[in-house]
Amino acid sequence: MITKAFNPVYSARETNQFTMKELTKAEEQVMQILWKIKSGFIKDIMEHLPEPKPAYTTVSTIVRILEEKGFVSHRAYGRAHEYTPLVEKSDYTRMMMKGILTRYFGNSLRQMVSFFSHEKGLTTSELEELKRIIEDEINSKQ
């Protein structure tokens, strides 16, 4: 895990807090692949992309942008570069979920759970699983 103070992924705000930059859809797709394969060359990323595959140069450009944003680093082997994620998937997921919670649900977890419960039409077993997760969390805080 990279600390926020030394990682350009995080940008300072007036409040002196740090926020991670959001990724475009294409950047996130490449990051999902890198998180899965841990590290790889452009050809490795290409193998995991769905059809129709973008051009090699397009993927290369996306990876370079991710590197500029501080999401990946590379190790050079001559002209070839092996890319490795600098940001953990869990960190990015946490940031994205906090953003969704704030922007769409007024920072209310209850509203978000209610929304998904009604919109998705959760089954009884899914609701029981959520209840078990909540009860486990309550018990761990006692």
Strand 18-20 with 10-12, pairing? antiparallel
- The percentage of the chain sitting over the pLDDT mark of 90, rounded to a whole number, equals 58
Q: Read off φ and ψ for residue 80, nearest 5 degrees.
A: -90, 145
Distance separating alpha carbons of residues 75 and 39, to the nearest angstrom? 10
Domain count, the chain: 2
Residue 36 falls inside a structural domain:
yes
Q: Which amino acid is at 133?
A: I
What CATH code is carried by the domain that includes residue 52? 1.10.10.10
Domain that holds residue 120: 108-142
Model confidence, pTM: 0.74
Q: Does one domain contain both 62 and 123?
A: no
User: Are residues 137 and 67 both part of a single domain?
Assistant: no
Q: What is the per-residue pLDDT across 66-91, written as a single tens digit (0 to 9) for each?
A: 999 999 999 999 999 999 999 999 99
Would the pLDDT of 97 be above 60?
A: yes
- Within-domain flag for 94: no
Whether 10 is covered by a domain: the verdict is yes
Start-to-end CA span in the chain (Å): 30
Q: Are residues 79 and 128 in the same domain?
A: no
